[in-house]
Amino acid sequence: MVKCYPQGVFLIDGVITPTLIEGQDIKSKEEAARQTMAYRIMSAHNKGDASDTYFQIKFDALASHDITYVNLIQTVRAADKEFDRFPVPYVLTNCHNSLCAVGGTTNEDDHVFGLSAAKKYGGIFVPPHIAVIHQYMREVMTGCGKMILGSDSHTRYGALGTMGFGEGGGELVKQILGRTYDIPRPEIIGVQLTGTLRPGVGPQDVALALIGAVFANGFVTNKVLEFFGEGVGNLSVEYRMGIDVMTTETTCLSSIWVTDDKVSEYYATHGRISDFDQLQPGKVAYYDGLITIDLSKVVPMIAMPFHPSNVFTIAEAQKNAADILNEIGFLNDLLLPNGGMRVDQGIIAGCAGGLYESICEAADILEKGNATMTDAFSLSVYPASQPAYLALVENGVVAKLMRAGVVLKTAFCGPCFGAGDVPRHNGLSIRHTTRNFPNREGAKPSLGQSAAVALMDSLSIAATAANGGVLTSADAFLEEKSNIPAYYFDKTVYDKRVYNGVGNPQQDTVLVYGPGIRDWPDFLPLEENILLQVASFITDPVTTTDELIPSGETSTFRSNPYALAEYTLSRKDPEYVSRAKNIATYSTNNVKGILDILANNGHDTAQLAIGSVVYARKPGDGSAREQAASCQRVLGGLANIAREYATKRYRSNLINWGMLPFLLPEEPVFALNDFIYVPNIRKSIQNRLEQFTAYVINNREECHTITLKMAPLTDNEREILLAGCLINYWRTQQNNK
């Protein structure tokens, strides 16, 4: 089904070979590496020198949603008091906090702020319920050979010939303020698709098979996936999009696909044929590794809690239900007496599941299965945009769904992160969405609640619904692929509801601040020496951003740094906030005993900053949300220490908020509440050092020497850390003009 080859390969006239063939115009691996689609696109956007090893990229468009854009714009304003316009099209969507179900007026206050910002600075504002962020970008903003940066980790538009990067807000701030996205040239992994999907197998099945094959071994971490092969042509564009958006869960950096007549037809349907171009690798291209996927061997899949990589075939899950549910630990009442398992709820939604074709095929299965859903099981469907919803109404699919007992809802990302459609205590929800991390279903552990999400394709979710909530594979219902009605894109909804101020900033517009919107606090520059106290010590193999700062109900407070910080690590280490706050109040008098020990060991502790540090083995998997780092900073955090960082975006978030991203490959000799003294850190950063001698003082007043490391920093990253955060850095730049 999915095979990985770590060695580099050449693609020559569509054929994979381990070596160059004599007689080719291209004579070296280095030259062939420049013939990939990804390299060509990134090189065309590179604003630095013509280096093959380092890119300084400016993007064609930016995108944010309503749990990121307020703080992001506040960061821009704090950094540059003279800021007056967005330099490229910037889309502000409202698909995360659009229910306005908690927090009083807070969510709608954010939306009003966003509209006023779009008017003042010349942006695009997509009102609540009109489209989820990535569907709007697909329908309106993509283009072959373009690059888009979004403050959401699932910013992936490779199937439409557009390289999408999902990062924390700090990277968008840099673009808005005229800076670049600076990265070493990423490795590019070829993904060769062959064969044709069987009936009953959908895009999520392919995506889960891929994630299961590459997540744990880190095969594609921070690399670009480049899709090609005859199998691509056997997939519709929406199927490609459904696979592509889930590549985020592999921890890759970005993605790109070959484009063909089907992609051309997509752009024509959306009235943007000029945005199409045929993208193909060069006649000879080199890849740093290879993944092959035989689509004909993919079967219906399920990712059991609590990660998209916890993958089984549905047949395996049915056969081994007792063992699999036992591993989860609290769902044994889902076992059926005759084997298999039942589920409580189905959801088809968002940028992964709420696509036109997926919903049409689900409706076909429900109609063929004569679904009743008269028991506890429920099924909700959220089309990803109002134009898609309109097409489903006009072609009769909505009527099919409603007759089957399905509840139709508007474009909303809530099922992806735990806002809305929360199942019962100890319940299991099957969802064609993007993630199934702990509490992504919306349960509140602080109230003793537990529930879980399993990821599946919409086809098998519909089959399960047709079978009354008993876990069922779609291939049991489909002997041939459904006949999908032709799609007609009607942009009337957007014309009448979306504000487009690109190129026309109304600078006299007054930003509208609700009472929940707060400015960022001031942060101090990096001091010469730092004394860290360990405020949280996490030994899990991976720590997600959801665990660092929970999603769901906390989204209401994303525009208030102080209120949101109260939830930091609340589901992983509930005492962290009080510890960090206490450390933030320390003066040298509070740590005199520690300083005396250091002095007795010959250390000069003048020019000292005191702050907290979080240790985690591999933090930052999942969401791009910068608040995973900024909340620690608001509470007085100065650093993280990790064996490795799960994603480039989390490490970038730390740096942009002035937090040192230390590495410690070996087992730590420190524990919770121990102190770590790092002398001469400012000078070391200035001198481009990547290794630092530090000293651990434990509760037995023993002093141990350790070596902390740091992956190479760009010049810009180094300056941001020295300044104390991106805001301070930019203010300094402005003052030095």
Q: Is the pLDDT of residue 696 over 70?
A: yes
pLDDT at 450: 81
CATH of the domain at 246: 3.40.1060.10
Say yes or no: 128 and 196 in one domain.
no
Say yes or no: 681 and 558 in one domain.
yes
**Average pLDDT for residues 625-644, to the nearest whole number?**
95
Residue 504 lies in a domain: no
Q: How far apart are CA 715 and CA 181, in angstroms?
A: 12
- Band (291; pLDDT cuts 50, 70, 90): very high
pLDDT at 736: 66
pLDDT at 127: 96
pLDDT at 210: 96
Residue 194, SS3 per DSSP: strand
Q: Could you tell me whether strands 289-294 and 2-5 are parallel, antiparallel, or unpaired per DSSP bridges?
A: antiparallel
Q: How far apart are CA 219 and CA 252, in angstroms?
A: 9
Residue 145 lies in a domain: yes
- Band (204; pLDDT cuts 50, 70, 90): very high
Residue 506 lies in a domain: no
Q: How far apart are CA 137 and CA 156, in angstroms?
A: 10
pLDDT at 342: 87
Residue 498 lies in a domain: no
In DSSP terms, 290 is beta-bridged to 5, 190
For 524-540, the DSSP string reads: PPPPSEEEEEEEEEE-S
pLDDT at 356: 95
Residue 511 lies in a domain: no
How does pLDDT run across 359-369, given as a tens digit for each residue?
A: 999 998 888 76
Q: Is the pLDDT of residue 223 over 90?
A: yes
Say yes or no: 720 and 628 in one domain.
yes
**Average pLDDT for residues 622-636, to the nearest whole number?**
91
Structural domain ending residue among the three candidates 156, 179, 202:
179
- Band (686; pLDDT cuts 50, 70, 90): very high
Rg (CA), the chain: 25
The CB density around residue 529, as the number of other CB atoms within 10 Å, is 20
Say yes or no: 550 and 671 in one domain.
yes
- Band (268; pLDDT cuts 50, 70, 90): very high
Angle (deg, nearest 10), helices 237-245 and 356-369: 100
Q: Could you tell me whether strands 181-184 and 54-57 are parallel, antiparallel, or unpaired per DSSP bridges?
A: antiparallel
CATH of the domain at 536: 3.20.19.10
For 609-620, the DSSP string reads: EEEEEEEESSEE
Structure tokens at 372: 């009743």
Q: Is the pLDDT of residue 418 over 80?
A: no
Residue 496 lies in a domain: no
Q: Is the pLDDT of residue 125 over 80?
A: yes
Say yes or no: 114 and 173 in one domain.
yes
Cα–Cα distances (Å) from 475 to 263, 301, 373, in that order, read 27, 11, 20
What is the pTM for the complete model shown? 0.92
Structural domain ending residue among the three candidates 466, 490, 514:
490
Residue with the larger pLDDT of the pair 439 and 112: 112
Q: Is the pLDDT of residue 703 over 80?
A: yes
Which residues does 16 contact at the CB level (< 8 Å), separation at least 6?
Answer: 9, 10, 190, 192, 290
Mean pLDDT across the chain: 91
Q: Is the pLDDT of residue 106 over 70?
A: yes
Say yes or no: 578 and 682 in one domain.
yes
pLDDT at 410: 93
Say yes or no: 312 and 334 in one domain.
yes
Range of the domain at 197: 2-55+186-297
Q: How far apart are CA 545 and CA 572, in angstroms?
A: 11
Which residues does 464 contact at the CB level (< 8 Å), separation at least 6?
Answer: 343, 346, 430, 456, 470, 471, 472
Say yes or no: 48 and 100 in one domain.
no
Sign of CA dihedral 261, 263, 264, 266: positive
Say yes or no: 306 and 286 in one domain.
no
Cα atoms in the Cβ-side hemisphere of radius 13 Å centred on 394? 13
Residue ranges of the alpha helices (H) in 230-374?
Answer: 230-233, 237-245, 261-269, 314-319, 321-328, 350-353, 356-369
Say yes or no: 555 and 660 in one domain.
yes
Which residues does 398 contact at the CB level (< 8 Å), separation at least 6?
Answer: 389, 392, 408
How does pLDDT run across 131-167, given as a tens digit for each residue?
A: 999 999 999 999 999 999 999 989 999 999 999 999 9
pLDDT at 198: 92
For 56-70, the DSSP string reads: EE--SEEEE-TTTHH
Are residues 692 and 683 in contact, defined by beta-carbon separation less than 8 angstroms? Answer: no
Are residues 254 and 647 in contact, defined by beta-carbon separation less than 8 angstroms? Answer: no
How does pLDDT run across 488-511, given as a tens digit for each residue?
A: 999 999 999 999 999 999 999 999
CATH of the domain at 141: 3.30.499.10
Residue 523 lies in a domain: no
How does pLDDT run across 315-334, given as a tens digit for each residue?
A: 998 888 888 888 777 666 78
Q: How far apart are CA 57 and CA 561, in angstroms?
A: 29
**Average pLDDT for residues 398-402, to the nearest whole number?**
92
Structural domain ending residue among the three candidates 277, 297, 317:
297
pLDDT at 583: 97
pLDDT at 550: 85
The CB density around residue 51, as the number of other CB atoms within 10 Å, is 12
pLDDT at 374: 62
Closest CA to 298 of 194, 218, 226: 194
Q: Which of 99-113, 360-374, 540-554 has the lowest mean pLDDT?
A: 360-374
Say yes or no: 288 and 309 in one domain.
no
pLDDT cut 90: percent of the chain above it: 68
Residue 519 lies in a domain: no
Say yes or no: 308 and 451 in one domain.
yes
For the chain, how many structural domains are there in total? 4
